[in-house]
Structure 1
Amino acid sequence: MTNQPETLSWRDGEVPVSHRFDDPYFSLDDGLAETRHTFLAGNHLPERFRDGFHIAELGFGTGLNLLATLALWRQSGAAGVLHFTTFEAFPMAPQDMIRAQAAFGELSGVAQELAPHWGAARIDLPDLRFELIEGDARTTLPGWDGRVDAWFLDGFSPAKNPELWGEALMAEVARHMVPGASAATYTAAGHVRRALEAAGLAVERIPGYGRKRHMTRAERST
């Protein structure tokens, strides 16, 4: 069953806030800078890019992480195809995605290219293979057969969206990582770090973005 698009309010006219989780979709300071610090630099990108590099994400939201990643892929001169799979229980309506993305003029070219595809489960471009898997990740991820090079763990705050940060789901995250794969998230919550460690990952707390003093990075060695 397809869920109804998420209902929103808008802070300062451009930052969407989820009514369901009472949480903004990206940093009130600079969402793009936060994405670059947390998910791109946090996963040591673009240094690790290669043909077929596969990123998976918990929480698609506005699509900002995808836009920033594809822009970086192109800027870095990476050859081949980027694979990007995202798990989202409550997809944002396409018109709301477009409105939210408009705050990031630096990504306008990529945003305009992808805008006609929002709402589709798959996007295939010469340099991108994208899939959105809709539904509760606790149900959809265990049945997925992919294995990835990097995870973007970008659900709403663990305090407001605990379902996306539980030990069982973090174990599934680890199970879908190839040796040497990494995961990064903005949160440094102790129970999240412990769940990742319990899944067999090497976990470190590193400097976060803006007002967040710390964030979390994890890696699978074998």
Structure 2
Amino acid sequence: MARRIGQGMRDGNPSPELDWRDGTPVARRFDDPYFSLADGVEETRHVFLGGNDLPACLRAGFHIAELGFGTGLNALVLAKAWTGPGRLRFTSFEAWPMARDDMARALAAFPALDATALLDQWPARRIALAGIDVEIVEGDARRTLPVWHGRADAWFLDGFSPARNPEMWGAALLAEVARHTAPGGTFATYTAAGHVRASLAEAGFAVERRPGYGRKRHMTRGVLPG
């Protein structure tokens, strides 16, 4: 397997070390792929769009937040789903921004998605996609989310597996997700781990389990009561 070490968005914050499996980047730190080995686009549509009832709920100014920007695949799938009018807001919290060449290699697996605008502007903290204004908040979300002043209408909880990256799924961080969610806002995630569902419920979400994508039997979604 090929290995590549790139440069992060800022000196001192290196890009993740990657292996590649059939064109899919795998984070060496967590031994976990960035998206489904079966079909990352369909996984995003099923889990994050479907789990948040998107695009039906989208409207101009709708604010999506995300834990884990990764390859930018979720943002690109959302951009393709949004037909306007107006623009969406998309805020993503990312500890290890991917090197541009690695991002381009990963996204080349999805020729139906136009990644040109993302790749032309990457790396950057603010990126304009078709119909979407993207902001990248760099750093450990356990530190950056508590001081964020925004509130999201929908969350994509897309960190690496809870078994391999437990810090991204801790009760304190998930409580911050709830605190930064608008009344009636939603979340969706590919994982159905019991402790994750319990922490999200304790944080105030009405949590439910749904059929997962591909080989995953279940996923999780929830609503913050208004």
| 1:97 counterpart residue number | 103
Give the drift of 1:127.
Answer: 2.3
CA contact 2:84–2:131 (8 Å) conserved in 1? no
Give the drift of 1:125.
Answer: 5.2
Alignment match of 2:21 (pick from 11, 36, 39): 11
- Tell me the secondary structure at the aligned position of residue 39 of structure 1: helix
Alignment match of 2:128 (pick from 124, 136, 158): 124
Report whether the alignment pairs 1:214 with 2:218.
Answer: yes
Give the drift of 1:126.
Answer: 6.6
| 2:46 counterpart residue number | 37
Report whether the alignment pairs 1:54 with 2:59.
Answer: no
CA contact 2:117–2:128 (8 Å) conserved in 1? no
Per-residue CA shift, 1:108-148, capped at 9, x if unaligned?
Answer: x2x01221111101113572211000100000000000001
- Tell me the secondary structure at the aligned position of residue 26 of structure 1: coil
Per-residue CA shift, 1:179-220, capped at 9, x if unaligned?
Answer: 110000000000000000000110000000010000000110
The 5 A counterparts of 1:106-185 are 106-107=112-113, 109=114, 111-124=115-128, 127-185=131-189
Gaps of 5+ in 1: none
CA separation of 1:41 and 1:125: change in aligned 2, threshold 3 A: closer
CA contact 2:156–2:187 (8 Å) conserved in 1? yes
Alignment match of 1:27 (pick from 30, 36, 53): 36
Give the structure-1-normalised TM-score: 0.95
Higher helix share: 1
| 1:82 counterpart residue number | 88
CA separation of 1:19 and 1:126: change in aligned 2, threshold 3 A: closer
- Tell me the secondary structure at the aligned position of residue 115 of structure 1: helix
| 2:202 counterpart residue number | 198
Gaps of 5+ in 2: 1-10
Distance 1:124 1:112 in 2: 11
What amino acid is aligned across from residue 42 of structure 1 in structure 2?
G
What stretches of structure 1 move > 4 A for 4+ residues in a row?
Answer: none
What amino acid is aligned across from residue 30 of structure 2 in structure 1?
F
Aligned residues: 216
- Tell me the secondary structure at the aligned position of residue 181 of structure 1: strand
- Tell me the secondary structure at the aligned position of residue 105 of structure 1: coil
CA separation of 1:171 and 1:103: change in aligned 2, threshold 3 A: same
TM-align CA RMSD: 1.1
Percent of aligned positions that are identical? 63
What amino acid is aligned across from residue 98 of structure 1 in structure 2?
A
